[in-house]
Structure 1
Amino acid sequence: MKKFLVILLSCYFVYGLAVSIYIFYGSDSSLPVVYKGSAADPELFMTDRELELSQEFSQIKNIIYFLRIPLEWGAYLAILIFGLSNAFEKWAKKRKFFIVQTAIFVFFISLFVRIIYLPIDIYSYKVSVAYGVATQSMASWFKDVAITFLVNLIVMTIVIATIVFLLKKAKQKWWVYTWLLSIPFTVFFMYFQPVIIAPLFNDFYELQNKELQSEILELANEAGIPAERVYEVNMSEKTNAMNAYVTGIGSNLRIVLWDTTLEKLEKDEVLFIMAHEIGHYVKNHLLLSLLGSIASTFFGLYVSNRLLQWSLNKWGENLKIHSQASFAIIPALLLIFSLLTFVSTPVSNVISRYHELEADRFAIEMTKDPDAAIGSFQALTKAGLSDVNPPTVVKWLRYTHPTMLERLIFLESFRNNSQ
Structure 2
Amino acid sequence: MTTDQKTPAIEPLGSGEHPWAKKLRLWRKSAAAAELALTIAITFYLFGGSAEEWASAVQFRYSSPWARSLLFSLLLALVYGVPSFPLTFLRSYYIERRFGLSTQSLKAWSLDQLKGLLLGAVLGAVVVLGLTGILIWGGMSWWWMAAIAAAAFGIVLTRIAPQLIVPIFFKMKPLESPELVNRFTALAQKTGTPILGIYEIDMSRRTKAANAAVIGFGASRRALVGDTLLYEFSTDEVEFVLAHELGHHHHHDLWAGVALSSVTTSLGLAAAHFTIASATEPFGKFFIAGSNSKTFNPILIFLIAVMTTVVGMLLGPVGKWFSRYVEARADRFAARTTENARAGARAFRKLGFQNLAVFQPPAWEETLFYSHPAIARRIERLEPKA
TM-score (norm 1): 0.81
Q: In the alignment, what sits opposite 1:45?
A: 15
Residue number among 132, 141, 146 corresponding to 1:173 in the alignment: 141
Give the superposition deviation at 1:131.
0.5
Give the superposition deviation at 1:385.
0.8
After TM superposition, the structure 1 stretch with the greater mean CA deviation from structure 2, 167-176 or 79-88, is: 79-88
Q: Is the 8 A contact 1:92 1:105 kept in 2?
A: no
The yes-or-no answer on 1:316 pairing with 2:286 is no
Q: Is the 8 A contact 2:248 2:326 kept in 1?
A: yes
Q: Distance in 2 between matches of 1:141 and 1:126?
A: 10
Give 2:180's aligned amino acid.
L
Q: Is the 8 A contact 1:102 1:161 kept in 2?
A: yes
Q: In the alignment, what sits opposite 2:322?
A: 351
Equivalence map 1:268-287=2 (5 Å)? 268-287=236-255
Structure 2 CA distance for partners of 1:93 and 1:103, relative to 1, 3 Å = farther
Residue number among 11, 32, 40 corresponding to 1:65 in the alignment: 32
Give the superposition deviation at 1:92.
7.4
Task: Look up the SS of the partner of 2:54 in the other structure.
Answer: helix
Equivalence map 1:15-414=2 (5 Å)? 44-46=14-16, 50-51=18-19, 53-87=20-54, 90-91=57-58, 94=61, 98-124=65-91, 125-310=93-278, 312-313=279-280, 315-316=282-283, 323-324=289-290, 325-414=296-385
Give 1:353's aligned amino acid.
R
Q: Distance in 2 between matches of 1:122 and 1:99?
A: 32
Q: Distance in 1 between matches of 2:181 and 2:58?
A: 54
Map Cα deviations across residues 232-269 of structure 1 (whole Å, 9 max, x no partner).
11010111111111111111111111111111101100
Task: Look up the SS of the partner of 1:187 in the other structure.
Answer: helix
Give 2:118's aligned amino acid.
L
Q: Distance in 2 between matches of 1:284 and 1:79?
A: 41
TM-score (norm 2): 0.88
Q: In the alignment, what sits opposite 1:30?
A: none
Give 1:271's aligned amino acid.
E
Task: Look up the SS of the partner of 2:108 in the other structure.
Answer: helix
Give 1:139's aligned amino acid.
K
Q: Distance in 2 between matches of 1:95 and 1:140?
A: 38
Q: Distance in 2 between matches of 1:230 and 1:92?
A: 50
Give 2:27's aligned amino acid.
I
Q: Distance in 2 between matches of 1:269 and 1:64?
A: 33
Q: Distance in 1 between matches of 2:112 and 2:48?
A: 31
Give the superposition deviation at 1:320.
9.2
Q: Distance in 2 between matches of 1:155 and 1:162?
A: 11
Map Cα deviations across residues 180-230 of structure 1 (whole Å, 9 max, x no partner).
322322221111122112211111221122332222222112121221320
Task: Look up the SS of the partner of 1:172 in the other structure.
Answer: helix
Q: Distance in 1 between matches of 2:60 and 2:110?
A: 31
Q: Is the 8 A contact 2:267 2:311 kept in 1?
A: no
> Across the two proteins, how many residue pairs are aligned to each other?
369
Structure 2 CA distance for partners of 1:43 and 1:375, relative to 1, 3 Å = closer
Structure 2 CA distance for partners of 1:93 and 1:374, relative to 1, 3 Å = farther
Q: Is the 8 A contact 1:103 1:153 kept in 2?
A: no
Q: Is the 8 A contact 2:212 2:226 kept in 1?
A: yes
Q: Is the 8 A contact 1:272 1:372 kept in 2?
A: yes
**Unmatched segments (≥5 aa) in structure 2:** 1-11, 291-295
Structure 2 CA distance for partners of 1:44 and 1:184, relative to 1, 3 Å = closer
Q: Distance in 2 between matches of 1:153 and 1:334?
A: 16
**Unmatched segments (≥5 aa) in structure 1:** 1-41
Q: Is the 8 A contact 1:316 1:322 kept in 2?
A: no
Q: Distance in 2 between matches of 1:211 and 1:370?
A: 19
Task: Look up the SS of the partner of 1:60 in the other structure.
Answer: helix
Give the superposition deviation at 1:94.
4.3
Q: Is the 8 A contact 2:276 2:287 kept in 1?
A: no
